Amino acid sequence: MNTPSKWESYILQREAGTLSPRKQRALQRALAQDPELQAYERTLAVARQAMTDADPDKPVSAFTLSRIIQEAERHGPRVPDPTPTWTLRIPNWKPALVYGGLSVLVLILGSALFFQADRSGPAFQSVQSEPDFAGEGGAVVEWDRVFAEEYEALAQQLHTLRTEASEAAWLINDRDEEALARELLEWEHST
């Protein structure tokens, strides 16, 4: 047996309703000239008609049908679960890409700032941080100002104390001399 010829293939496709109008017209012309093709087409038509007529419309048993319905009831329609679940789904790659990109960006920026801070520490010191006496910058100036004010206040207090102490000492000295003179006079009188 050979594979179907072009025209036999056209006949089969026309019977299936899938032959283009242009090919149908060509087939019609070929059929008009070729009795063998006409016999082939007739065979196909007879086979279909005979199958349709002879096809026993045998019913499926009630048992089989009831099993199918039972199965349908048992499995039931698959209604989607309204409760949302967190699942990793490949199609949602855009949000994942955005979050991932942001995370990487933050990581890079953090690393860059860390190393920058390591190199030029004072730039990241606050006024409350430990003063860098050997360095330069605003923080040191600030600390100097604070210390200077405190030093000035202490110096003022010290000066005040010293003055008061000096005056007190003079008073004490004066009093001692007077007491000594009185005691001497008293001694002289007594003797």
Binding site for another protein (CB under 8 A): 1, 3-4, 8-9, 12-13, 16-18, 39-40, 42-44, 46-48, 50-61, 64-65, 67-69, 71-73, 75-79
Cβ-based nearer residue to another protein, 70 or 120: 70
Q: How far is the CB of 58 from another protein (least distance, A)?
A: 6
To another protein, the closest distance from the beta carbon of 92 in angstroms equals 20
CB 39 within 8 A of CB 8: no
How far apart are CB 101 and another protein at their closest, in Å? 35
- Provide, rounded to whole angstroms, the least separation between the CB of residue 28 and another protein: 19
Based on CB atoms, which residue is closest to another protein, 39 or 102?
39
Minimum CB distance to another protein, residue 27 (Å) = 14
Q: Which is nearer to another protein, 26 or 140 (CB)?
A: 26
CA separation (Å) from 98 to 80, 85, 93, 109?
29, 21, 9, 16
Q: Of the two residues 76 and 84, which places its CB atom closer to another protein in the complex?
A: 76
- Residue 76 in 3-state DSSP? coil
Nearer to another protein, 13 or 125 (CB): 13
Contacts of 37 (CB under 8 A, 6+ apart): 7, 8, 11, 30, 31
Picking from 173, 21, 131, the residue whose alpha carbon sits closest to that of residue 13 is 21
182: enclosing H helix or E strand: helix 138-190
Phi and psi at residue 127, to the nearest 5°: -70, -20
**Per-residue tokens: 11:** 């006949």
